[in-house]
């Protein structure tokens, strides 16, 4: 999720001047989002087109009423929002219904993608979309990356991660074109059936071969001295996995203990900020950006640190990076004892709240998806105007 230097060494050919745009696709449950996050770790700005599609049919968004009129009020949940699982049961069993839905949603998503790509400052953008090829969006990109996984891996992931029955999972897999059709068009094929490290190596090799910018550096922030301790925040990299695991095991023991491989896998879901005093790791923050919402799920600090200075450094760097990624809001989930540091959180602009009290559906969904059990939600708007209103 780091910033990239601006030196583009060859002219991009995408429809967006001054940007090198990677189109990232693959069939359901192949691991597209993991690969997108890897590219974000290398410095690209990531856009999740499928999340934008969800926004486009939220109540009050331009796609809501046309979809309800097309499929009926059966697809609505008790809160009046479209129940995507009910909608999915209809469209994944009826190709005509799926095509009708796409005719409503695709133009709205394309509009949002165009707006975001033109707005961001990063010179490299990755657009993740399951229908990238079907919507002809790949023609607007500089290179097409396709993520592949064997059918048995797709099936296991759908059943484990989405709670689908085997029949539902097979139905969704069968509703999509064969993976080989996308692979035949690809500039890069990422085979994502093994470990995170195996996939990461493929991504790095392809990045260095095709992407016309230097890889983002470690991105250290300005060091500050607090109570005779100089603290510095740096962006964590996969090479820091063993050190991160050791700190977490010391501060939040688990049985069995976390391994470096566990942290490597976590890099497929989140970014880490590391708080150092000299060469010693003193704290870690884990956070991710999805659907223009920053979500901080891990804050671990060594006892004896100046708490205010440590929190301020980490939170400010997270916010700076999140604003650079066009985030609308920041959600921080902390243990109750840390949440009781009222003065610190007030000075940082955060207030405790509940997911259902957040004003935007996208923010509520982000909170429900990410909130660890037993934590307190702290909320802050990062901008007054929402980026994709009304989408």
What's the confidence (pLDDT) of residue 21?
A: 96
Residue 12 has pLDDT above 50, yes or no: no
What's the confidence (pLDDT) of residue 11?
A: 41
What's the confidence (pLDDT) of residue 214?
A: 54
The residue ranges of every structural domain in the chain are 20-210, 224-381
Q: Which CATH architecture has domain 20-210?
A: 3-Layer(aba) Sandwich (3.40)
What's the confidence (pLDDT) of residue 75?
A: 97
**Mean pLDDT in residue range 3-12:** 40
Residue (of 139, 247, 260, 265) closest to 200 by Cα position: 265
The fold of 224-381 is: Aminopeptidase (3.40.630)
The pLDDT tens digits of the residues spanning 171-214 come to 999 989 999 999 999 999 999 999 999 999 999 999 999 997 75
**pLDDT band at residue 8 under the 50/70/90 scheme:** very low
Q: How far apart are CA 57 and CA 72, in angstroms?
A: 14
What's the confidence (pLDDT) of residue 15?
A: 86
221 DSSP 8-state letter: P
Residue 79 has pLDDT above 50, yes or no: yes
Q: How far apart are CA 382 and CA 391, in angstroms?
A: 18
The pLDDT tens digits of the residues spanning 86-144 come to 999 999 889 999 999 999 999 999 999 999 999 999 999 999 999 999 889 999 999 99
CA dihedral for 276, 241, 39, 110, sign (positive or negative)? negative
The pLDDT tens digits of the residues spanning 210-227 come to 997 755 554 445 555 544
What's the confidence (pLDDT) of residue 387?
A: 80
Q: How far apart are CA 183 and CA 194, in angstroms?
A: 18
Please tell me the pTM assigned to this model: 0.86
What's the confidence (pLDDT) of residue 222?
A: 53
36 Cβ contact partners less than 8 Å away, ≥ 6 residues apart: 24, 46, 48, 126, 128
185: number of Cβ within 10 Å: 13
What's the confidence (pLDDT) of residue 382?
A: 96
Q: How far apart are CA 230 and CA 36, in angstroms?
A: 34
SS (H, E, C) 306-332: CHHHHHHHHHHHHHHHHHHCCCCEEEE
The pLDDT tens digits of the residues spanning 115-127 come to 999 999 999 999 9
């Amino acid at each position: 999720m780091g910033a990239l230097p601006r030196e583009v060494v060859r002219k991009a050919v995408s429809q967006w001047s001054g940007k090198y745009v990677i189109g990232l696709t693959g069939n359901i449950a192949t691991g597209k989002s993991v690969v997108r996050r890897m590219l974000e770790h290398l410095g690209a700005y990531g856009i999740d087109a499928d999340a934008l599609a969800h926004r486009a049919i939220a109540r009050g968004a331009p796609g809501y009423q046309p979809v309800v009129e097309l499929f009926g009020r059966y697809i609505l949940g008790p809160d009046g929002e479209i129940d995507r699982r009910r909608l999915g049961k209809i469209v994944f069993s009826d190709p005509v219904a799926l095509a009708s839905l796409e005719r409503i949603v695709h133009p709205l998503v394309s509009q949002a993608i165009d707006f975001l790509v033109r707005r961001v400052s990063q010179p490299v953008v990755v657009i993740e979309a399951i229908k990238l090829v079907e919507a002809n969006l790949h023609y607007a990109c500089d290179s097409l990356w396709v993520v592949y996984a064997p059918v048995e891996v797709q099936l296991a992931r759908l059943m484990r991660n989405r709670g689908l029955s085997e029949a539902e999972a097979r139905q969704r897999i069968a509703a999509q074109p064969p993976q080989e059709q996308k692979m035949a068009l690809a500039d890069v094929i990422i085979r994502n059936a093994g470990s995170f490290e195996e996939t990461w190596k493929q991504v790095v090799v392809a990045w260095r071969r095709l992407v016309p910018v230097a890889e983002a550096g470690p991105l250290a922030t300005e060091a500050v001295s607090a109570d005779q301790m100089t603290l510095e925040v740096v962006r964590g990299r996969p090479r820091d996995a063993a050190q991160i695991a050791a700190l977490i095991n010391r501060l939040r023991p688990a049985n069995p203990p976390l391994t470096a491989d566990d942290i490597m896998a976590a890099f497929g879901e989140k970014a880490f900020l590391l708080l150092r005093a000299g060469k010693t790791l003193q704290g870690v923050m884990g956070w991710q950006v999805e659907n223009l919402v920053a979500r901080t799920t891990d804050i671990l600090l060594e006892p004896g640190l100046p708490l205010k200075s440590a929190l301020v450094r980490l939170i400010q760097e997270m916010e700076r990076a999140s604003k650079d990624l066009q985030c609308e809001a920041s959600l921080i989930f902390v243990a109750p004892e840390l949440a009781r540091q009222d003065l610190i959180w007030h000075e940082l602009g955060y207030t405790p709240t509940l997911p259902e009290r957040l004003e935007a559906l996208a923010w509520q969904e982000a909170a429900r998806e990410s909130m660890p059990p037993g934590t307190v939600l702290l909320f802050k708007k990062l901008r007054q105007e929402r980026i994709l209103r009304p989408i």
